[in-house]
């Protein structure tokens, strides 16, 4: 495949998108006193986990399908919250959950400004 082929263009687009979301998540969470900004990065890139299985599966597990909805974001945050609660020293639990929520939400907001948008109310 040539450097100018469709596969290269798509990979470059995905890399740029993931880095953009990561930088936004990092920036938003870096103003919090805790947790580490990487938590915002993870929250911000999590909706794109659908890129791992989108080619092999069908709707709703397509890119910008169910993982790009507030409902999925809520499930992710509650799951992380439950897991963190069982860990030693869960005192920063609300800040941790807030950081993930801010990262996830920033991803949905940024993707809303693209041509294909996101399914906010998932239909």
- Tell me what pLDDT residue 74 has: 86
77 or 39, which is more confident?
39
Is 119 within a domain?
no
Domain with 76 in it: 8-113
Euclidean distance between CA atoms 37 and 23, whole angstroms? 10
Euclidean distance between CA atoms 82 and 88, whole angstroms? 12
Is 2 within a domain?
no
- Residue-wise DSSP of 81-119: HHHHHTSS-GGGHHHHHHHHHHHHHHHHHHHHTSSS---
pLDDT tens-digit map of 90-103: 567 778 888 989 99
Is 86 within a domain?
yes
Domains in the chain: how many in total? 1
Is 41 within a domain?
yes
Is 82 within a domain?
yes
Q: Both tokens of residue 106?
A: 């920033």
1 pLDDT exceeds 50? no
- Residue-wise DSSP of 21-63: HHHHHHHHHHTSSSS-THHHHHHHHGGGGHHHHTTTS-TTSST
Is 92 within a domain?
yes
98 or 86, which is more confident?
98
Is 26 within a domain?
yes
Is 3 within a domain?
no
Mean pLDDT to the nearest integer, 74-94: 75
């Amino acid at each position: 495949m040539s450097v100018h082929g469709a596969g290269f263009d798509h990979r470059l687009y995905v890399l740029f998108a993931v880095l953009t979301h990561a930088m936004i998540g990092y920036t938003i969470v870096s103003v919090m006193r805790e947790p580490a900004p990487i938590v915002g990065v993870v929250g911000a890139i999590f909706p794109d986990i659908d890129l791992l299985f989108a080619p092999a599966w069908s709707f709703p597990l397509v890119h910008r399908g169910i993982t790009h909805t507030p409902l999925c974001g809520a499930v992710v945050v509650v799951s992380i919250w439950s897991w963190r609660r069982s860990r030693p020293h869960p005192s920063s639990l609300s800040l941790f959950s807030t950081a993930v929520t801010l990262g996830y939400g920033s991803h949905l907001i940024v993707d809303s400004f693209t041509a294909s948008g996101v399914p906010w109310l998932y239909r």
